[in-house]
Amino acid sequence: MTGTDSKRRAAVLGSPIAHSLSPVLHRAAYAELRLSDWSYDRFDVDEEALPAFFGKLGPEWAGLSLTMPLKRAVIPLLDEITETAASVEAVNTVVCTRDGRRVGDNTDIPGMVAALRERGIEQVDSAAILGAGATASSALAALARICTGEVVAYVRSEARAAEMRQWGERLDVEVRTEDWAQAAEALRAPLVVATTPAGATDALAAAVPERPATLFDVLYDPWPTDLAARWSAYGGAVVSGLDLLVHQAVLQVEQMTGRSPAPLDAMRRAGEHALAAR
């Protein structure tokens, strides 16, 4: 390919979107892979504006990354979604194929598994999840691949508890729910996945046991969270939201560009520098 035919576009969509690190990560990958004709942008797009945005996608588009609130809203606009995306009814990756098809996938789930594997966590016999939102369902899907026993979800309402039990049945994971008031008990699990918004777990920091196992905290800004800082201070292993973001972006880059492996280390460095500059 030469000239304009070789120019390829990708972007992250969501609302709000200004905070997204995706452009930093994807552009770092393009630089490392010497894909000089590739560009990656960000667009503030809400659910209402999404169909019109899709209607304007031309043949130069290679793919899209999607964040909230678009992960479910995009599904009716796609030609196909993968089994992984269907399992949690959430798409964070759209690949635009050369023949004009739009295929949705979810790289958050294998991204979580890869981030844990990088820290030596291949399998656990039980786990705890703090929270019950969209990220918690992805965490449950990831745990379906590595947890051989019970997952206990700590939630704030019976409605959320019922949702998590339903996701457990759907994903074939043994899920028990407990009230958020008991969340300190979660910290003794072999693997704790915190999926809550900033500040929600701060009060739990004082309850970190003297010999904690592994914490996966999906936040990355601000970092470290109070919980992650105390966990590290006590010698526990911590996987961060940046680890997740980088690993899921690696999979996106590979799918959109067809180049593998994507440059994990360069992408992580770029993310770290961007966060340090904030």
Residues labelled catalytic? 71
* CA-based torsion, 64, 69, 70, 72: positive or negative: positive
Whole-angstrom distance, CA of residue 149 vs CA of residue 171: 13
Q: What are phi and psi of 247, to 5 degrees?
A: -65, -40
Show Cβ contacts of residue 141 under 8 Å, excluding neighbours closer than 6 positions. Answer: 84, 87, 88, 106, 109, 171
Query: How many Cβ atoms from other residues are within 10 Å of residue 225's Cβ?
Result: 26
Angle in degrees, 0-180, between the axes of helices 108-118 and 241-257, rounded to the nearest 10: 120
Could you tell me if 253 and 262 are in contact, meaning their C-beta atoms sit under 8 angstroms apart? yes
Whole-angstrom distance, CA of residue 174 vs CA of residue 135: 18
Residue with the two structure tokens 């479910």: 72
Exposure b/e, 91-120, CB count within 10 A at least 16 = b? bbbbbbeeeeebbbbbbbbbbbbbbbeeee
Angle in degrees, 0-180, between the axes of helices 22-32 and 264-277, rounded to the nearest 10: 140
